Structure 1
């Protein structure tokens, strides 16, 4: 029995890795994670060195955690840069650290994969692994409730809370049925936003991964990259990632493209499970009033209703989602810090932060547009 790491997911077959997965979350599968690696979107050079932890018994992999050796904290959506800065001032080394997460994807899902007993042994062996590898600590982002219960019983793991905004399909017959659950003023606002986009002559079409041509993927990537470049940043994902994903898991991809005068002007890229639409990336090459809300939110909500999906996760942050019916959802991450002084300071900080996050999520419900009593 031993804990080791994989420098690339290509060291395992898709069948070996996917056999460890508990559900159909598309971000965890071999096809997605290997596409991120082989497209160069994660690498040693950009500070996302693949380092997937595996627990073997009798030569067989019984448990695993998808993970990366990090030399910075970009692209994680659980913000610990303040901890790193405090360490620098105190002369404590914070990087490299080990991160158990899905790159650039703040999506809750399984992180502790495989058999229960093997996962427990992996977690028990992890502190020695961190010490041997000169890593400051381990971080598990966006964990599931089952994993939260397990990690509460592990020594020195610190829980952290966050807040996202998700939309729930409560059996709506159509988008109007959803609108009927809203307060009158809010209902009029959403209807006005949709009517504005329609009045501008913008039409939408949905595609699966297999239906998109390479030239359409060029457009998708141009929109995606533009959302970063307008903020003076480089996009995390490479163009090759999208083609690899379309080749390996086309059935999980959904892209809506907005056209004006028959020309594509915006897109939203999503992934799909049996119950959930995951809105991930959006971008536009022309500006229209309300285009962002229609492309990223209303199109996805309508698609979820039509397809009978129960859940729409449109990404991290964004208090403006509350006014459009997205409800606050508490997210969880866990942090193991080897330095005792740092661990104690972070523990105090997280205790106060958790209370603040819970209070914020509770207060945020007052901003929801639903009729009271519904």
Structure 2
């Protein structure tokens, strides 16, 4: 694939030419230039809305070998510039499979292959292995419309010029999904389960909003989890030490081997996380008889806690619920965060206060006939997802008056 591909679009706000280029490595762009587009809200030293599109996070994936050669995630980072000044960027990857995406298109791939066409390779605007909603078309303030338009046009042109089957932007914001649809992309709606902070003073305040039966169940689960015979450590920033990553790597390998066959992240990624990401991270670890036996890894955004990975080397009843869901709620309440995104899938989260929430993606299909078929599928899928969200929300754990507020 072409590593430098200039494309020109008209900036309607200033009638200037925007040049879109492709970078093979984040080493080719200064962190401050990338982050001026990815997280301008953090320019004052505060937190990014989410850390996943920051230069430090994406660079850690690349430098650790978690993406790159032989991973099926080949970096082709997009940049858009006006008169040599970068106004927009996007994390773009060439994909040789559909693993680590969490917006599932395996059926699309099979259908196209059955028709005698190749679905792979394809292009993906995404954060690898990270089903967390956030901006995917990253623009400097004031260039939102022109920057996204340039990135979309540039990515589509690259896909077309290289005769690729498709382009996908996954876990984008709703605003991006709407804007992308207006540009001619296909909009997809799926769902996750998120916990929303309604201004609770503490965990008991959250429990008070639940039905009596669900409240009792959660209290029993939390009590049962404590019977594992050890202590729970909640660590962030400089509290996190290399020994904690040694332990978590064992947990991560166990989960990765069972779910994916091969873990997505390399051991080197966690070393880099200790160096450049620990202020973005919340580790919740269970320790028994001096050894760590289970843990959950979360990332901290400006207003959201993002649950990412869980693993263990010992099985104990309800410990997974405690480390992944209840400790996350505790932390969010204490930090006055608005929500917890607990990752992909999992209707079991509903009983624990995590409600179904729509998530969005955008798609471009090269073959017109196949694209029309996908468009019909997405329309039916969107109606089914919306109905599913409505039904699941009604069966949520909150008291009736609280459920009416959520609907």
Common fold, TM-score beyond 0.5? yes
Determine if contact 1:166/1:327 at 8 Å carries over to the other structure.
yes
Name the structure 2 match of 1:59. 84
**In structure 2, C-alpha distance between the alignment counterparts of 1:235 and 1:259, rounded to whole Å:** 23
What's 1:153 paired with?
A: 182
**Match for residue 18 of structure 1 among 16, 29, 35:** 35
Q: Deviations over 1:189-231 (max 9, x none)?
A: 1000111122332321111143222222111111011112234
Residue 209 of structure 2 contacts residue 399 of structure 2 at CA under 8 Å; is this kept in 1?
A: yes
1:275 matches 2:303:
yes
Residues 246 and 253 in structure 1, CA contact (< 8 A), matched pair in contact too = no
Partner of 1:71: 96
| TM superposition score normalised by structure 1 | 0.96
- Aligned partner (choices 209, 219, 227) of residue 255 of structure 2: 227
For 1:114-153, list aligned pairs within 5 A: 114=139, 115-116=143-144, 117-153=146-182
Structure 1 distance, partners of 2:150, 2:290, is 57
Matched, 1:199 2:224: no
The residue aligned with 2:71 is 46
Report SS of the residue matched to 2:391: helix
- Structure 2, gaps ≥5 residues long: 1-17, 42-47, 403-407
Tell me the equivalent position of 2:347.
319
Provide the C-alpha distance between the structure 2 equivalents of 1:189 and 1:17, rounded to a whole number of angstroms. Answer: 46
* Residue aligning to 1:257: 285
1:235 and 1:310 map into 2 onto residues whose CA distance is 31
Residue 179 (structure 1) aligned to one of 193, 196, 207? 207
Q: 1:8 matched to which residue of 2?
A: 25
Normalising by the residue count of structure 2, what TM-score does the alignment of the two structures yield?
0.89
**Residue of structure 1 equivalent to 2:216:** 188
Q: Quick one: which of 362, 366, 374 aligns to 2:390?
A: 362
User: How far apart, in 1, do the equivalents of 2:158 and 2:293 lie?
Assistant: 49
User: What is the SS of the residue equivalent to 2:169?
Assistant: strand
Structure 2 distance, partners of 1:199, 1:126, is 53
2:273 equivalent in structure 1: 245
CA distance in 2, matches of 1:197, 1:303: 17
The answer to whether residue 241 in structure 2 is matched with residue 213 in structure 1 is: yes
Query: Which aligned runs of 4 or more in structure 1 are off by greater than 4 angstroms?
Result: none
Given the superposition, is the C-alpha separation of residues 122 and 305 from structure 1 closer, same or farther in structure 2, using an over 3 Å criterion? Answer: closer
Superposition deviation, residue 129 in structure 1:
2.0
Q: In structure 1, how many angstroms separate the alpha carbons of the residues matched to 2:259 and 2:190? A: 24
CA contact (8 A) 1:97 1:135 kept: yes
Q: Partner of 1:340 in structure 2?
A: 368
Is structure 2 residue 106 aligned with structure 1 residue 93? no
Unaligned runs of 5+ in 1: none
Distance 1:175 1:163, change over 3 A: same
SS in 1 for 2:268: helix
Could you say if the C-alpha distance between residues 36 and 310 of structure 1 is closer, same or farther in structure 2, counting changes exceeding 3 Å? same
> Between Structure 1 and Structure 2, how many residues are aligned?
373
Q: Deviations over 1:237-286 (max 9, x none)?
A: 01110111221122111101111233211111111012111111110110
| Cα distance, 1:232 vs structure 2 | 6.5
Aligned counterparts of 1:321 and 1:237: Cα–Cα separation in 2? 25
Question: Does structure 1 retain, via aligned residues, the 8 Å contact 2:77–2:92?
Answer: yes
Q: Contact 2:178 / 2:187 at 8 angstroms: preserved in 1? A: no
